Structure 1
Amino acid sequence: MKLVCAQSDLSTNLSLVNRAVPSRPTHPVLANVLLQADAETNQVSLTAFDLSLGIRTSFNADVWQGGAIALPAKLLVDITSRLPEGEITLDDESNPATGEGINVTLTPKTGQYQIRAMEAGEFPELPLIESTEAIHLTATALIEGLRGSLFATSADETKQVLTGVHLTVKPDSLEFAATDGHRLAVVETANERPLEDNQEQLEVTVPARALRELERMLVHNASSDEPVALYLDQGQVVFAWQNQRLTSRTLEGQYPAYRQLIPRQFERQVTIERKQFLSTLERIAVLADQKNNIVKLTIDSNAQELTLSCEAQEMGSGRESMSAEISGEDIEIAFNVKYLMEGLKALPSTEIQMHLNQTLTPVIFTPLGGLKMTYLAMPVQLRS
């Protein structure tokens, strides 16, 4: 195998796939990146796979002689990212039959590096799904939905199904839902590529880790309008577009009936400027007691004012007020400050509305205009 490619192409694509390389591989070959070079198409593809998440990406190169080889991912990333811009030659001239192992030579304009490699045949195949017809999604709809939901997934591995985002593909829209039991984010985005007449609505729960990589890769390719093809089969989901492919196992189990958690009627409503609310919260959060992280909201309809306060035992206290449009009676309510801040960061609008009933019933936050998003946060009990 021999090829010449740009340092920037090799480094950029390596950093994309490297995120699927396990930090503690169960088998030595999984610590490698599979490099495949095709002399006919002049394409080089890189693949990383931890047996749960797989990423494949490809780029153009001058391939003199095709072939495939498994290269140590961390070493290759560390060397390539530090090389100067310009052309790099990759050359594999070793003969495994001699028993000397496989060596690959990297030749940048400034010198030469030799890396010990493994045979490509040892690298596991990425799952292929060919039995199902692709559903096409727009990258913009996927990015919007993931931005508004990923933050609300659970990190608790004992509740596996909650560590992912539940994606529902409807005839002309996508719905993303994520919950960790204390809060819920639901985003609905328009899919400009509606389902075909013969295609049914689809539901799948995909691990947050895989979807974070999908979002990162799609944002990296932000200039492309090419649709993303989604393939789903038993236990596996594949997203494919341009020269890139992400494969992931799906999460088994019944996802909670989250629509039933969202109240339909509210006794109180508060309209407030999002950035001001967020920056005030960030200041108050500095004082929030490390043990409970709680912030109290006092809603005063006569003064049309929202007051945020925090009591940190033995450290001090903080209090700030801001104007708001309030309807309904006065109320005091408390939240985990982290849940409030993360929700406000994800709501993509200048103004937001807060809908609430009692001190311990679910509170709903929605953007005023723009993206159709619902963020539900459970209040916490104030101890007097």
Structure 2
Amino acid sequence: MKFVCSQSDLNSNLSFVSRAVPSRPTHPILANVLVVADAQKKRVSLTAFDLSLGIESSFSADVTEEGKITLPAKLLNDIVSRLSEGEITIVAEEVEEDETLLVLLKSVSGQFQVRAMKADEFPPLPTIEDGESIELPIVILTEGLKGALFAASSDETKQVLTGVHLTGTQDSLEFAATDGHRLSVVQTTLQPSTDDDEPGDTTEMPNLEGFSLTIPARALRELERMIGGRPDTEAIALQVDDAQVVFELGQQRLTVRKLDGAYPNYQMLIPKNFSRTISLERKRLLTSLERVAVLADQKNNLVKCTFDSEEGQVSLSVETQDLGSAKESMPAEITGDSGEIAFNVKYLMDGLKALPAKDIQIQLNEGNQPVIFSPLGGLKMTYLVMPVQIVK
């Protein structure tokens, strides 16, 4: 195998696929990245796979001898990222005496020799032959993931809660994530083409009636990187079967195993009626929260929220025995009785950062019942947080 490519192409594609390399591989080959050079297409593809998440990406190169080989992902990353910009020549050759595979990397500044492994042992990425296939506008995924992904559980023992649940209807796609303490639900609309669209921009919106699956949050974070910086007008191909989900965008492909198990009926958790409603500016609430949170005790990480309907004011306060206290107030429109409630600072900040609006609405009832945060206008998003009991 022999090819010449640019350092920037190799570096960016290698960095992207290497995120699927396991930190503790169950087999030595999984610590490697598969390199395939195609002389006919004049392209080089890179693949990494941890048996659950697989990422493949390709780029153009001057391939004089095609072939495939696997190289240690971390070592290759460390080398390529430190090379200066310009052309890199990669040559794979077998040492006859002991059948060792060696790969030579030549750049302007010098050369490196790296031991490699044959590609035969590298597991192939799963393919979907007869599954469902749809095209989704990137803007739908961007909105849905930004609003829901942060709320997924990081506790691997919670299995299905470590993913984001997608549910489709005829004209919408809903994203939901919960870790048992908070829940975020985003409903994105599948907009049909309008008269303002450019000629040729007549992508038919898919009918997602009955569409339902749960995708691991880790894979969706890589999907966010994959679609980041792409125009909202682009679409990504999505294929689904009983076990796998495949996302394809340009020369990049992400394959992931779906999460098994029934996702909780989260709609049952969202209250339908509220005794109090608070409307206020989101950014002001967030910046005030960030300031008082400096004094939050790491053990309980609590902030108390006091709302005064007569004064039209919301106050945030933090008291820590060993550090001190802090309090900030801001104007708000309040209906219902005055009162106070406490939240985990992190849960509150995460939700406020994700809510896509200038002004937000907070809906709540008495005591320890769920509190709902939602944007006033724009995207339809519901963020539910369980309050923390205030000890008098």
Q: Which TM-score band (shorter chain)?
A: over 0.9
Q: Please give the alpha-carbon distance, in whole angstroms, between the structure 1 residues aligned to 2:105 and 2:189.
A: 46
Within the candidate set 302, 318, 325, 1:310 is matched to 318
% identity of equivalent residues: 61
Aligned to 2:195: none
Tell me whether 1:236 sits opposite 2:244 in the alignment.
yes
Give the secondary-structure state (helix, strand or coil) at the position aligned to 1:302: coil
1:314 Cα deviation from its structure 2 partner: 2.9
Residues 195-246 of structure 1 show CA distances to partners (whole Å, capped at 9, x for unaligned) of 25xx7521111111111011111105x1374321111122211111211111
Partners of 1:205 and 1:140 in 2: CA distance: 20
TM-score (norm 2): 0.94
The 4+ residue runs of structure 1 with deviation greater than 3 A are: 223-226
Instruction: Give the match's secondary structure for 2:271.
Output: coil
One-letter code of the match for 2:181? H
Aligned to 1:132: 131
TM-score (norm 1): 0.96
Deviation at 1:6, TM superposition (A): 0.7
- The equivalent of 2:375 in structure 1 is 367
One-letter code of the match for 1:44? V
CA contact (8 A) 1:331 1:359 kept: no
| 1:344-355 equivalent positions in 2, closer than 5 A | 344-355=352-363
CA RMSD of aligned residues (A): 1.4
1:17 equivalent to 2:6? Answer no
Matched, 1:337 2:336: no
- Tell me the distance in 2 between the aligned counterparts of 1:271 and 1:200: 34
Q: Matches of 1:67 and 1:252 in 2, distance apart? A: 37
Which residue matches 1:208? 217
Identify if the C-alpha distance between structure 1 residues 200 and 330 changes in structure 2 by more than 3 Å, giving closer, same or farther.
closer
Any residues of structure 2 matched to 1:37-52 within 5 Å, and which? 37-52=37-52
What does residue 172 of structure 1 align with? 171
Shift of 1:336: 0.7
SS in structure 2 at match of 1:166: strand
Q: 1:217 aligns with which of 212, 215, 226?
A: 226
The alignment partner of 2:94 has SS state of coil
Report the 3-state secondary structure (helix = DSSP H, G, I; strand = E; otherwise coil) of the residue aligned with 1:148.
helix
The alpha carbon displacement at 1:177 in A equals 0.1
Instruction: Work out the CA distance in 1 between the residues paired with 2:171 and 2:48.
Output: 33
Aligned residues: 380
Task: For 2:342 and 2:184, locate their aligned partners in 1 and report how far apart those are by CA, in whole Å.
Answer: 19
* Deviation at residue 361 of structure 1 after TM alignment: 1.0
SS in 1 for 2:110: coil
Q: Pick one of 287, 298, 302 that aligns with 1:294.
A: 302
Q: Is the 8 A contact 2:133 2:238 kept in 1?
A: yes
**Structure 1 position 276 matched with structure 2 position 284:** yes
Q: Tell me which amino acid in the other structure corresponds to 1:124.
A: P
Question: Hey, what's the Cα distance between the residues in 1 that align with 2:315 and 2:358?
Answer: 19
Residues 63-111 of structure 1: per-residue CA shift (max 9 Å, x gap)? 111111101100110010111111111111325x653311111111121
The match for 1:254 is: 262
State whether residues 136 and 206 of structure 2, in contact with CA within 8 Å, keep that contact through their aligned partners in structure 1.
Answer: no
Give the Cα separation in 1 of the matches to 2:241 and 2:228: 26
Shift of 1:286: 1.2
Match in the other structure for 1:106:
105
Preserved contact between residue 56 and residue 244 of structure 1 (Cα < 8 Å): yes
Q: Secondary structure at the match of 2:58?
A: strand
Unaligned runs of 5+ in 1: none
For the residues of structure 2 that align with 1:98 and 1:231, how far apart are their CA atoms? 46
Unaligned runs of 5+ in 2: 192-203
**Residue 62 of structure 1 aligns with which residue?**
62
Distance 1:325-1:307 versus aligned 2 partners, 3 A rule: same
**Secondary structure class of the residue paired with 1:84:** coil
Report the counterpart of residue 320 of structure 1 in structure 2.
328
Q: Which amino acid aligns with 1:25?
A: P
**Stretch moving more, 68-77 or 312-321:** 312-321
CA distance in 2, matches of 1:224, 1:374: 23
d(CA) in 2 for partners of 1:282, 1:307:
13
Aligned residue identity for 2:180 = G
